[in-house]
């Protein structure tokens, strides 16, 4: 099946008891057994739930994987991955990544003896220099949050295979419509399902997709043992959202291209970060591994004044100032004080995350209306 067909049909069957075309919300915690051990595949909803099963199968198909494993949040999914490792193990991560991931790595797992190296992963040699006998995983984000850096998945996959380490890719910014990391050598794909997969700003969830059966068993064990699972109502909402993922991502990408071009030519904008530009670092890699360039854009203002960024964001009418991304409505955010506030200022500025940096999640509204909203807000500074 092609992507749009998979989005609508993969993992989903009419309800056998009623013929309902939509997967029911199995709002139950437990399941009746005929006798000891004689059940229909479901015993307790922390372990399995039919609504969640359908979603996990759907997500696996979208990422060209075999196993989907859902969690109560994206960070819950990341937490499960790091629990694969032991004290003394080392993980190499990109140095430009979601602030919540950085916080989880440094404030939670470093206390238990796992060591993290943060490197500019756009340069493969920077990863090579950190690999040693204790290295167990390479953690990739591409495009990165919020600087939109592009990391070569094929090169990272080959490096991971050569050294016998796992490669995990946070694919949240791209979505499975734009990029499929398993096809480029990743072992685990992570999504904050909250974002593009849900697509309507009404659910919080995370997911992992893998091909390896043994790895799937380990992660499923952690999912059940630690219990960070989503409820059936949330799974239903994501299944519904995914049915229009291909349509939404096409519009997000079209609007993203329009808005990026507009900002690049605006006299009050200093720099625009969007991988679709030919002069964007690693643009050729983006063209190779991405089907489109998406609707995530970051930009800085001339003068790099925090007060100017605040003025712009306070004067938007269509771009709502809010955490998160990937919904049908356009959002703006200030990474330095919001999503990446947990990263020390000196570390933020090393990757270019300045005080005037504004991150846009371009929605599916009319592009002309979004341009006018930007024009009006930028005119206030």
Over residues 65-109, the pLDDT tens digits come to 999 999 999 999 999 999 999 999 999 999 999 999 999 999 999
Among residues 26, 98, 102, 273, the one annotated as catalytic is 98
What is the CATH code for 245-379? Answer: 3.90.1150.10
Average pLDDT (205-213) is: 98
Give the model's pLDDT for residue 348.
84
The highest-level CATH class for domain 3-240 is alpha beta
Q: Give the 3-state secondary structure of residue 136.
A: strand
**SS3 breakdown of the chain: % helix, strand, coil, rounded to 5?**
40, 15, 45
pLDDT tens by residue, 120-152:
999 999 999 999 999 999 999 999 999 999 999
Q: Quick one: tokens of 86?
A: 């032991």
333: left (phi over 0), alpha (psi -120 to 50) or beta: beta
User: Which residue do the tokens 């506030």 mark?
Assistant: 341
| Cβ-proximal residues to 79 (8 Å cutoff; 6+ apart), any chain | 71, 104, 108, 226, 228
Task: Give the C-alpha separation, 220 to 223, whole Å.
Answer: 5
DSSP-derived pairing of the beta strands 135-141 and 90-94? parallel
Average pLDDT, the chain: 96
Among residues 89, 170, 292, 373, the one annotated as catalytic is 170
CA distances from 27 to 51, 57, 70, 100, 234 (A): 9, 19, 17, 30, 11
Does residue 373 carry a catalytic annotation? no
Band of pLDDT at residue 253, cut at 50, 70 and 90: very high
Give the model's pLDDT for residue 182.
98
Contact 192, 73 (CB under 8 A): yes
Average pLDDT (236-248) is: 98
Q: Quick one: tokens of 129?
A: 């220099």
Domain borders along the chain are 3-240, 245-379
Helix (H) or strand (E) holding 188: strand 188-192
Task: Give the C-alpha separation, 273 to 344, whole Å.
Answer: 21
pLDDT tens by residue, 10-64:
999 999 989 999 999 999 999 999 998 888 889 999 999 999 999 999 999 999 9
In this predicted structure, the answer to whether residue 211 has a pLDDT above a threshold of 90 is yes
Say if residue 315 is exposed, middle or buried (CB neighbours under 10 Å; 0-12, 13-18, 19+): middle
In this predicted structure, the answer to whether residue 321 has a pLDDT above a threshold of 90 is yes
In this predicted structure, the answer to whether residue 161 has a pLDDT above a threshold of 90 is yes
Q: Quick one: tokens of 217?
A: 């068993």
Among residues 195, 248, 257, 359, the one annotated as catalytic is 195
Give the model's pLDDT for residue 152.
98
* Percentage of the residues of the chain whose pLDDT score is greater than 90: 93
Q: Give the 3-state secondary structure of residue 133.
A: coil
Q: Omega of the bond prior to 146 within 30 degrees of 0, cis?
A: yes
Task: Give the C-alpha separation, 366 to 317, whole Å.
Answer: 14
Give the model's pLDDT for residue 137.
98
In this predicted structure, the answer to whether residue 6 has a pLDDT above a threshold of 90 is yes
Q: Specify the DSSP class assigned to residue 317.
A: S
Give the model's pLDDT for residue 37.
83
Give the model's pLDDT for residue 345.
83
What radius of gyration, in Å, describes the C-alpha atoms of the chain? 21
In this predicted structure, the answer to whether residue 342 has a pLDDT above a threshold of 90 is no
Does residue 218 carry a catalytic annotation? no
Average pLDDT (235-249) is: 98
Among residues 31, 42, 46, 212, the one annotated as catalytic is 46
End-to-end CA distance of the chain: 50
Entry field: residues in the chain: 381
pLDDT tens by residue, 362-376:
999 999 999 999 999
User: What order of strands is seen across the sheet that includes strand 206-210?
Assistant: 67-71, 206-210, 188-192, 166-170, 135-141, 90-94, 115-119
* Percentage of the residues of the chain whose pLDDT score is greater than 70: 100
Task: Give the C-alpha separation, 260 to 360, whole Å.
Answer: 10
The whole-model pTM stands at 0.96
Give the model's pLDDT for residue 351.
84
Give the model's pLDDT for residue 349.
82
Average pLDDT (205-227) is: 98
Does residue 195 carry a catalytic annotation? yes
Does residue 15 carry a catalytic annotation? no
Average pLDDT (179-206) is: 98
* Axis-axis angle for helices 367-378, 306-314 (nearest 10): 130
């Amino acid at each position: 099946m092609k992507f749009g067909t998979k989005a609508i049909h993969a993992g989903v069957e009419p309800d056998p008891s009623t013929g309902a075309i939509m997967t029911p919300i199995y709002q139950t915690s437990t399941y009746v057994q005929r006798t000891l051990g004689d059940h229909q595949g479901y015993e307790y909803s922390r372990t399995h739930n039919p609504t969640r099963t359908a979603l996990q199968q759907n997500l696996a198909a979208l990422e060209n994987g075999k196993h989907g494993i859902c969690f109560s949040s994206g960070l819950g999914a990341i937490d499960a991955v790091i629990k694969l490792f032991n004290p003394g193990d080392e993980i190499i991560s990109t140095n430009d990544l979601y602030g919540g991931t950085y916080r989880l790595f440094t404030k939670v797992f470093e206390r238990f003896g796992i060591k993290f190296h943060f490197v500019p992963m756009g340069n493969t040699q920077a990863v090579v220099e950190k690999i040693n006998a204790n290295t167990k995983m390479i953690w990739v984000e591409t495009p990165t949050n919020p600087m939109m850096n592009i990391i070569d998945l094929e090169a990272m996959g080959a490096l991971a295979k050569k050294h016998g380490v796992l490669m995990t890719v946070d694919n949240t910014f791209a979505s499975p419509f734009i990029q499929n990391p398993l096809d480029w050598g990743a072992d685990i794909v992570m999504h904050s399902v909250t974002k593009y997969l849900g697509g309507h700003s009404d659910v919080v969830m995370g997911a992992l997709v893998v091909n390896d059966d043994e790895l799937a068993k380990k992660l499923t064990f952690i999912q059940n043992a630690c219990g960070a699972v989503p409820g059936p109502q949330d799974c239903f909402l994501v299944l519904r959202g995914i049915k229009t993922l291909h349509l939404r991502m096409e519009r997000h990408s079209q609007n993203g291209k329009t808005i990026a071009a507009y900002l690049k030519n605006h006299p009050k904008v200093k720099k625009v970060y969007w991988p679709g530009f030919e002069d964007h670092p690693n643009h050729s890699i983006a063209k190779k591994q991405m089907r489109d360039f998406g609707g995530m854009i970051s930009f800085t203002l001339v003068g790099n004044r925090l007060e100017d960024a605040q003025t712009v964001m306070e004067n938007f009418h269509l771009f709502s100032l809010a955490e998160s991304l990937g919904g049908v409505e356009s959002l703006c955010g200030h990474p330095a004080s919001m999503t990446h506030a947990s990263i020390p200022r000196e570390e933020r500025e090393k990757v270019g995350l300045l005080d005037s940096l504004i991150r846009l999640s371009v929605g599916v509204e009319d592009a002309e209306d979004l341009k006018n909203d930007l024009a009006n807000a930028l005119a206030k500074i």
